[in-house]
Amino acid sequence: MKSVDMRPVRESTVVSREIAGETVLVPICRSAADLESIFVLNEVASFVWERLDGQHTLQDIELAVVEDYDVAPEQARTDVQGFVAQLLENGLVQET
Amino acid sequence: MTKRVSIHLRQVRCPSFEFGRLSSSLLESGYAVRFRAEGTSMHPAIRDGDVLFVEPVSSDDLHIGDIVLYLSGESRPVVHRIIARVRKAGNLRLLIKGDNLFHVDEFIPWQRVEGKVTLVERGDSILQLKSGWPEMLVVFRSWWRLVKGEMSRRVLHRRRWN
């Protein structure tokens, strides 16, 4: 379980683009955008991704998700934390 | 208004129908792109499964013999070679062809070129592509293939009518 005070920040080596209504994350590998391994985010994941700026804590993000989407606070916490853990695992964000 | 929540992160290979838009957007922003080639139209210079590095390019950097990524009429990404350059009224147009094909693709304005292939990764080896005489030999061979293709077509046409 991640600390709710954690302020994850997007890695500078990841480029995001809006393609056909979806957010696509492209890692920069050896100075090139690697199209062999891109990440696609759904709507809620994009909502969370936009807030991973090193300013918002996980708790801020969880509250924003509860406010905008039909989800119980406990479920939002589990989902946001799981998502951030996945991003960390794939080197797309870093902890601050 | 609230919506049902689910948070998804999917790791995929860039689907071909999105490839053009994504590669264009990245190259226009100055990023090089890296992706796996499919097909045999550029064999043996580029083989099916090779990984290509494509860099943004300006019109001054486009030479006969260079291999470029461009979007065809249906926004389909194509990696083929420049076999001729024509400058007309200040506009540069390029004739593009796959090395292994008997026909040319089309004349395109240089602005349709997304980028130039500078590196090919094949297994453990990395091949650096540069403009120079070995490429000119490939271009010559490509033109010869074109002439041969045209001659065969004419022979077939004559046989059909005789």
Q: Do A48 and B7 touch (CB under 8 A)?
A: yes
3-state SS of chain A is: CCCCCCCCEECCCEEEEEECCEEEEEEEECCEEECCCEEEECHHHHHHHHCCECCCCHHHHHHHHHHHCECCHHHHHHHHHHHHHHHHHCCCEECC
State pTM to two decimals. 0.84
> How do residues A17-55 score in pLDDT, each as one tens digit?
998 888 999 999 878 999 998 999 999 999 999 999 999
For B50, the closest chain A residue by CA position comes to A36
ipTM for this model: 0.83
Chain B residues with CB under 8 Å of A43 CB are: 3
Tell me the per-residue pLDDT of B90-139, one tens digit each, with 9 for 90 and over.
899 999 999 999 899 999 999 999 999 999 999 999 999 877 777 888 88
CB < 8 Å from A in window 6-45 of B? 6-14, 18-19, 21-23, 25-26, 29, 31-36
- Smallest CA–CA distance, residue A90 to chain B, in Å, is 10
